[in-house]
Amino acid sequence: MHPDKSKTLSIVWFRQDLRLEDNPALVAAAKRGAILPVYIHSPEEEGAWAPGAASQYWLHQSLKSLAKKLQGKKSRLIFRRGPTDSALKKLLQETGASAVFFNRRYEPAIVQRDTELKKTLQKSGVRIESFKANLLFDPWEIATGQGEPYKVFTPFWKNCLSRPEPLGDPLTLPKITVPKLWPESLELEDFELEPKIPWTQGIAATWKVGEAGAQEQLDAFLEDALKDYSEERNRPDHAGSSKLSPHLHFGEISPRQIWSAIQREMALGKKSGIAKGSECYLKELGWREFAHHLLYHFPETSERPLRREFEKFPWEKNTKALKAWQRGMTGYPMVDAGMRELWATGWMHNRVRMLVASFLVKHLMIPWQRGAEWFWDTLVDADLANNTLGWQWTAGCGADAAPYFRIFNPISQGPKFDPHGEYVRQWVPELAKLPTEYIHRPWEAPAEILARAKIKLARDYPLPIVDHREARHRALIAFKKLKGKI
């Protein structure tokens, strides 16, 4: 006999929607009856993009937070291992649940898995429904006049903003009815998501993981940074970013919640400049939508360039240079500061992401895929759609890509966006005592100034691994040759 005879017991299958507020799958299940919250660990079903080390750490903390929040509602989170189809079938059989509700994901391997799963469960008479929860618009909702996917951001976002249907208010947390009996569950620790060697102290100190942490981060952003966002977002030495990206990726907060909160701030209009900052930030949410739109319609782009002619680009294999870049030892302080911030905190300022990516693909001529792989393993906000769009944009081989001649200057970007050297001093402490005049170009500092700062170049801090002018010239020649072939 099944533990729950009501036939209205529903499985809510949590994935990258680790929240209770504004959760459409949870609301739909709650309207039906009792809820069985479930998380199934199946990284092997993510194709080539199983969560990296930093993401695994965040996932553990986020699941722990969600489980605790459910306990506060007299419910619990059931943990099982994949394969997902057999895990769900077993739970349906064990509990007598007759429906599965989940929120959609859009990565190619997951779309394929979910499509097959839906067909299988529907054939066996199970009600299975998916919902839009982690985007403002599903990728198939927005199309050109010819019914094609967009490849340029501006018309894509104009289309989004012109939609007559309102996004609606975020859904409030429903009353959760619990099953009469609970099935067995694994322990979260059984998934071994946390590292055996404790390298995550910096991540732990930087972030408050979970739904409450996401809301706190949003509140702080609205209070302190939104009104000046359009100017301050480019300053890595200031706290001008929202830092909501990992919370969005794991679904600890929804884009609709953020959108709604910003619209409220604009309506209140208490802070001068709020409209400009808000419009700028909402456009960044638009880029996130665009990234998912592209990955859904062009699923091969996580590994291959959207512009296929770039498969002929003369990339180089340079293991030594790649390692120097990964370790933040290129000899260019802004590049190294960014790579060290990433290693220490699992995050990097977006302006610096563009710089370090440009340096890898255009100064070192190393394939963008190697950079994407490193970011995937080290970012707490490693998101396949955003990662793919960002790297292909920098390499010039994707949608709406940067022109081939746009090569970020790793020297001048420093004084422009870190004018007092505070960002470099924080993350490259061996240069901290250098005067601001030389902080972004230590190789130009006179010997007596280096001595006073107790720095010996090539011993305490590396000399540049490539000459900027020579590297730029080499890249431009390669890009021009490729342009001539297309």
What's the pLDDT tens digit per position in 286-310?
999 999 999 999 999 999 999 988 9
CATH topology of domain 135-171+202-297: 1.25.40
pLDDT band at 395 (very low <50, low <70, confident <90, very high): very high
Which residue, 442, 438, 446, 435, is CA-closest to 463? Answer: 442
Tokens (6 digits) for 456: 């010996």
Residue 444 DSSP symbol: G
Which residue, 252, 241, 239, is CA-closest to 213? Answer: 252
* 37: three-class secondary structure by DSSP: strand
Whether the CA torsion 87, 91, 92, 97 is positive or negative: it is negative
Question: Are 108 and 47 within 8 A, CB to CB?
Answer: yes
Q: CA 261 to CA 267: how far, in whole Å?
A: 10
70: Cβ contacts below 8 Å, ≥ 6 apart = 20, 37, 76, 77, 176
Question: Are 21 and 257 within 8 A, CB to CB?
Answer: yes
Average pLDDT, the chain: 94
Whether the CA torsion 203, 417, 283, 296 is positive or negative: it is negative
Tokens (6 digits) for 68: 């605790």
Superfamily of domain 308-485: DNA Cyclobutane Dipyrimidine Photolyase, subunit A, domain 3 (1.10.579.10)
Q: CA 226 to CA 220: how far, in whole Å?
A: 9
300 flagged as catalytic? no
Place of tokens 């007092």: 420
350 flagged as catalytic? yes
Torsion angles phi and psi, residue 211, rounded to 5: -60, -40
133 alpha carbon, distance to own chain's centre = 16
Place of tokens 């976002």: 157
pLDDT band at 270 (very low <50, low <70, confident <90, very high): low
- Please tell me which residue in 58, 207, 325, 368 is annotated as part of the active site: 368
Residue 149 DSSP symbol: P
Q: CA 285 to CA 292: how far, in whole Å?
A: 11
pLDDT band at 271 (very low <50, low <70, confident <90, very high): low
pLDDT band at 404 (very low <50, low <70, confident <90, very high): confident
Task: Say if residue 486's pLDDT is above 60.
Answer: no
Gyration radius from the chain CA atoms: 24
pLDDT of residue 334: 98
Peptide bond into 83 cis (omega under 30): yes
Q: CA 469 to CA 363: how far, in whole Å?
A: 9
Which residue, 223, 289, 210, 229, is CA-closest to 261? Answer: 223
Question: Are 11 and 101 within 8 A, CB to CB?
Answer: yes
Domain boundary assignment for the chain = 10-133, 135-171+202-297, 308-485
Task: Say if residue 405's pLDDT is above 80.
Answer: no
Query: Rounded mean pLDDT of 394-406?
Result: 82
- Please tell me which residue in 231, 287, 318, 443 is annotated as part of the active site: 287
Question: Are 395 and 364 within 8 A, CB to CB?
Answer: no
Q: In what order do the strands lie in the sheet with 78-81?
A: 78-81, 35-41, 10-14, 99-103, 127-131
Write the CATH number of the domain with boundaries 10-133.
3.40.50.620
103 flagged as catalytic? no
Structure confidence by residue, pLDDT tens digits, 311-355: 889 999 999 999 999 999 999 999 999 999 999 999 999 999 999
391 flagged as catalytic? yes
Q: CA 210 to CA 190: how far, in whole Å?
A: 20
Which residue, 218, 371, 401, is CA-closest to 303? Answer: 371
Place of tokens 């951001």: 153
* pTM of this structure: 0.95
Tokens (6 digits) for 99: 């429906």
443 flagged as catalytic? no
Q: Residue 216 carries which side chain, given as an amino acid letter? A: E
Calculate the CA dihedral of residues 396, 52, 340, 355 and round it to 10 degrees: 10
Question: Are 376 and 390 within 8 A, CB to CB?
Answer: no
Q: CA 255 to CA 214: how far, in whole Å?
A: 12
In order of 12, 33, 34, the CA distances from 5 in angstroms are: 18, 12, 11
427 flagged as catalytic? no
283: Cβ contacts below 8 Å, ≥ 6 apart = 157
